[in-house]
Amino acid sequence: MIGGIRRGCGPDFRIGWHLSIERYGLRLEELREMTAEIFDRELIDYLDLAPWDYHQIVQEGSFRGRTLLNVFADLPRNGGAAGRIRSAGRATRLLDEGCDFVLIGRAGILERNCPVLVESDASHESPALPVPADFLRKGGLSERFIDHLRGWGDVVRPGSL
């Protein structure tokens, strides 16, 4: 499937893979092996790791004692991380631990200029969640998107109008 996307879009189209490490019931060794093979075959340009906890220590198997991020960080690739990165400090730690870039989601929703804020202030943190719906409106979000975010459970403060 990835090969078909690559053929259809051409070599200049960047293809990434979002990998939620703790999901899908695969062993960590299988996920890492599969990821390495995909990079070896040059099917993707970057890896977007999304563990629930980057600093979680692997408790079993051949990677026991390593952090989840560390298991993938030594692959010869361009790799980034996503998942609750809402502070300049956390982004910096991920870069220091081997990520080539970080991806933001909620932080970018809360503050459209989040990368500029982080670049200008190394201690910047996104607003604590959940936020009032009015905060999101003032940030330029539509009512439709705010209603969608209510379903995420942790973004829009319950009962806020």
Indicate whether 73 and 14 sit together in one domain. Answer: yes
Indicate whether 68 and 136 sit together in one domain. Answer: no
SS3 78: strand
| Length, in residues, of the chain | 161
Indicate whether 99 and 62 sit together in one domain. Answer: yes
End-to-end CA distance of the chain: 44
What is the reported pLDDT for 125? 94
Indicate whether 134 and 60 sit together in one domain. Answer: no
Provide the domain count of the chain. Answer: 2
What is the reported pLDDT for 71? 85
Give the Cα separation of 114 and 73 in Å (integer): 25
Burial of 153 (0-12, 13-18, 19+ CB in 10 A): exposed
Domain that holds residue 112: 2-127
- Full-model pTM: 0.70
Indicate whether 100 and 136 sit together in one domain. Answer: no
**113 with 139: CB under 8 angstroms?**
no
Give the Cα separation of 82 and 85 in Å (integer): 7
DSSP state of 86: -
Provide the strand spans (E) within the chain: 16-19, 46-49, 78-81, 101-102
Between CA 105 and CA 111, with CA 107 as vertex, the angle to 5 degrees is 120
What is the reported pLDDT for 77? 67
What is the reported pLDDT for 55? 73
Mind listing the pLDDT tens digit of every residue in the chain (161 residues)? 788 888 898 888 988 888 887 766 778 899 899 888 888 888 888 888 877 777 788 888 999 998 887 888 777 767 787 777 889 998 888 888 878 888 888 999 999 999 999 989 999 999 999 999 999 999 999 999 999 999 998 899 998 88
Indicate whether 89 and 149 sit together in one domain. Answer: no
Indicate whether 34 and 85 sit together in one domain. Answer: yes
CATH at 53? 3.40.50.12600
